[in-house]
């Protein structure tokens, strides 16, 4: 250690070059570093809107939303199903597992929602589907 210190005292230009090299490598490394305060992840969500004019939240939930939720929970690739029932409408959010094809899951969700004659029992009920790929912050 003593020899190293003596060397740098004798050749002070070498110390300056090493310090400059460390600073340059640090600046280059920091500029190439990819980071964000919150990591960005893809969240694949299918949103199902159910509209039934003149119905209460309880009617929407019991008559339509819960039946669609039960059918969707049986689908392979569905991570989570959440819903909100309001007067005249309900919203069902279906979160797809990572790595699954959203278009296929949208097709399967439509098939599940319409095949069990849930909506046919409720005249005047309409159902729309939307997909979106969000950047969410965890």
Question: What digits encode the pLDDT tens for the residues 73-109?
Answer: 777 888 888 888 988 888 888 888 887 777 777 777 7
126 band by pLDDT with thresholds 50, 70 and 90: low
Q: Average model confidence (pLDDT) for the chain? A: 77
Beta bridge partners of 25: none
The half-sphere exposure of 134 on its side-chain side, counting CA atoms within 13 A, is 13
Q: What are the b/e assignments for 116-125, b being 16+ CB within 10 Å?
A: eebbeebeeb
25 band by pLDDT with thresholds 50, 70 and 90: very high
Long-range CB pairs of 71-74 (<8 Å, 24+ gap) are: 71/112, 71/113, 71/115, 71/116, 71/118, 72/109, 72/112, 72/113, 74/112
Q: What is the pLDDT of residues 103-121, one digit of tens each?
A: 777 777 777 666 545 555 5
For 22, residues 6+ apart whose C-beta sits below 8 A from its C-beta are none
Q: What is the pLDDT of residues 8-20, one digit of tens each?
A: 888 889 899 999 9
| pTM: predicted TM-score of the whole model, two decimal places | 0.56
């Amino acid at each position: 250690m003593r020899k190293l210190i003596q060397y740098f005292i004798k050749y002070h230009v070498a110390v300056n070059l090493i310090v400059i090299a460390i600073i340059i490598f640090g600046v280059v490394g920091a500029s190439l570093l990819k980071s964000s305060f919150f990591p960005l992840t893809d969240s694949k969500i299918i949103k199902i809107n159910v509209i039934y004019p003149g119905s209460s939240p309880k009617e929407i939930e019991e008559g339509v939303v819960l039946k669609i939720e039960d059918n969707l929970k049986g689908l392979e690739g569905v991570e989570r199903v959440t819903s909100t029932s309001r007067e005249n409408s309900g919203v069902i959010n279906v979160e797809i597992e990572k790595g699954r094809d959203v278009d296929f899951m949208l097709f399967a969700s439509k098939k599940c929602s319409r095949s069990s004659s849930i909506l046919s029992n409720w005249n005047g009920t309409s159902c729309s589907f939307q997909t979106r790929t969000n950047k969410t912050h965890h």
